[in-house]
């Protein structure tokens, strides 16, 4: 079965899908996106993803190309046409195409919309989670509005490439004061020796992860103590457990930071429990 991509109102074969060479997403990274997990053909955490997408558009003054409900329909239809059961769906909205000018085009210029769905088998992810991942620290080179989910991802690519060079799956980005902002494509968490879960508070320096928000709901439900505040690598190295969250990884244990083990160097029990609780939530979300 050939893959189908949504581009500007049409569902087209993957090999034929194209946008204009003067699209502002291509020229200026003048575009936002969302990535949602797909479970049993359903969007996980749809409402939160659509709310964040609307916020990203609003912060960049990109007029919404269609209602949130219509965008969600595009995502669902792309999933359906590709018969994706478990995987990911990617939706990108750019400010549209036009001659290369820094200032915005008129609001009548149609936004470019692209939606791609991809099947991802859960088994390799679960195998990785059973081992845990290594992370490498890197300076946070991004702009000061990392709360907006833009396609301006070059600093994340550079950090992840450096991490890969060191055998690490993720980079933890460090701000000018020495605090961890977040992962290159995930939120960063530690569990203190006393069992308190710690993650940085929502601010322009980090993306308000949808998985992060849902996990905080779960922590509250389970009465697990947590605090939203910044932490340094020195504190993370003393932590009992560490993990990352994202729609692609859900809850993924971190067992090494810059080569040093966290706790006993194995995925932490609370992390694995939270992963399984999130998994349960995802299985029923949108079903």
Distance between CA atoms of residues 252 and 134, nearest Å: 10
Closest to ligand PLP by CB, 55 vs 81, is 55
Residue with tokens 């009465």: 223
Among 42, 78, 137, 245, binds ligand PLP (CB under 6 A): 245
Stretch that binds ligand PLP, among 63-71, 113-121, 122-130, 244-252 (CB under 6 A): 244-252
* Site residue total, ligand PLP (CB under 6 A): 13
Contacts of 235 (CB under 8 A, 6+ apart): 190
- In the numeric block, which tokens belong to residue 259? 């080569």
180-199 footprint of ligand PLP as x/- string (CB under 6 A): --x--xxx------------
Among 25, 96, 155, 209, binds ligand PLP (CB under 6 A): 209
Among 56, 246, 271, 285, binds ligand PLP (CB under 6 A): 246
Contacts of 70 (CB under 8 A, 6+ apart): none
| 149 catalytic residue (yes or no) | yes
Residues 210-239 that bind ligand PLP (CB under 6 A): 210-212
42: β partners = 39
Kindly name the residue from 61, 85, 149, 160 that is annotated as catalytic. Answer: 149
The answer to the question of residue 38 lying near ligand PLP (CB under 6 A) is no
138: β partners = 173
Stretch that binds ligand PLP, among 131-139, 159-167, 208-216, 255-263 (CB under 6 A): 208-216
**Rounded least distance, CB 32 to ligand PLP, Å:** 12
Residue count (the chain): 287
Beta strands in the chain (DSSP E): 4-7, 10-13, 31-39, 42-43, 87-94, 112-119, 133-139, 170-174, 180-183, 187-191, 197-199, 226-228, 241-246, 250-257, 260-261
- In the numeric block, which tokens belong to residue 200? 């940085």
Beta strands in 10-96 (DSSP E): 10-13, 31-39, 42-43, 87-94
Stretch that binds ligand PLP, among 15-23, 91-99, 204-212, 266-274 (CB under 6 A): 204-212
**Rounded least distance, CB 97 to ligand PLP, Å:** 25
* Residues at the contact surface with ligand PLP, assessed by CB under 6 A: 35, 182, 185-187, 207, 209-212, 245-247
Catalytic residue ranges:
149
């Amino acid at each position: 079965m050939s893959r189908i991509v949504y581009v500007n109102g049409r569902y087209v074969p993957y090999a034929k899908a194209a946008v204009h060479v003067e699209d502002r997403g291509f020229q200026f990274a003048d575009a936002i996106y969302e990535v949602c997990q797909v479970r049993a053909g359903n969007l996980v955490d749809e409402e939160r993803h659509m709310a964040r997408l609307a916020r990203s558009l609003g912060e960049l003054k990109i007029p919404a190309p269609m209602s949130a409900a219509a965008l969600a329909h595009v995502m669902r239809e792309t999933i359906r046409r590709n018969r994706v059961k478990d995987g990911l769906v990617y939706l990108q909205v750019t400010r549209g195409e036009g001659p290369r000018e820094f200032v915005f085009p008129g609001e009548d210029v149609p936004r470019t919309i692209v939606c791609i769905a991809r099947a991802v088998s859960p088994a390799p992810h679960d195998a990785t989670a059973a081992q845990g991942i290594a992370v490498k620290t890197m300076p946070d080179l991004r702009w000061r509005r990392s709360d907006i989910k833009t396609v301006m991802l070059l600093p994340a690519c550079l950090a992840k490439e450096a991490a890969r060079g060191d055998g690490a799956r993720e980079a933890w980005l460090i701000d000018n004061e020495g605090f961890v902002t977040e992962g290159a494509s995930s939120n960063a968490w530690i569990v203190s020796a006393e069992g308190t879960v710690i993650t940085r508070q929502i601010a322009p320096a980090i993306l308000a992860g949808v998985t992060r928000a849902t996990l905080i709901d779960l922590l509250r439900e389970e009465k697990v103590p947590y605090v939203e505040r910044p932490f340094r690598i020195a504190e993370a190295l003393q932590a009992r457990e560490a993990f990352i969250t994202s729609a692609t990884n859900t809850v993924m244990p971190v067992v090494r930071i810059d080569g040093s083990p966290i706790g006993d160097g194995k995925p932490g029990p609370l992390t694995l429990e939270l992963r399984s609780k999130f998994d349960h939530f995802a299985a029923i979300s949108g079903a």
